[in-house]
Amino acid sequence: MASPDAELSLLVLDDDGIAPMNRQYLGRNGPTNVIAFPMQEGDFSAMNPHLLGDVVISVETCQREAEAAGMGFDRRFTELLIHGILHLFGYDHEKSSAEADRMFRKTEDLLAQLDA
What is the per-residue pLDDT for 45?
A: 66
Residue 75 C-beta-side C-alpha neighbours within 13 Å: 12
Instruction: Walk along the chain (116 residues) and give the pLDDT tens digit of each residue.
Output: 555 688 999 999 999 999 999 999 999 999 999 999 998 776 766 677 778 999 999 999 999 999 999 999 999 999 999 999 999 999 999 889 999 999 999 999 999 999 85
Domains by residue range for the chain, with CATH? 8-115 (3.40.390.30)
What is the per-residue pLDDT for 48?
A: 73
What is the per-residue pLDDT for 116?
A: 59
- Residue 61 C-alpha from the chain's centroid: 13
Q: What crossing angle do the helices spanning 73-88 and 59-69 adopt, rounded to 10°?
A: 120
State the pTM of this model: 0.89
Report the alpha-carbon distance of residue 116 to residue 107 in Å, rounded: 14
What is the per-residue pLDDT for 98?
A: 92
- CA separation, residue 114 to residues 106, 108, 111 (Å): 12, 10, 5
8 A C-beta contact, residue 91 and residue 55: no
8 A C-beta contact, residue 50 and residue 63: no
What is the per-residue pLDDT for 60?
A: 98
List residues bridging with 112 in a β-sheet.
Answer: none
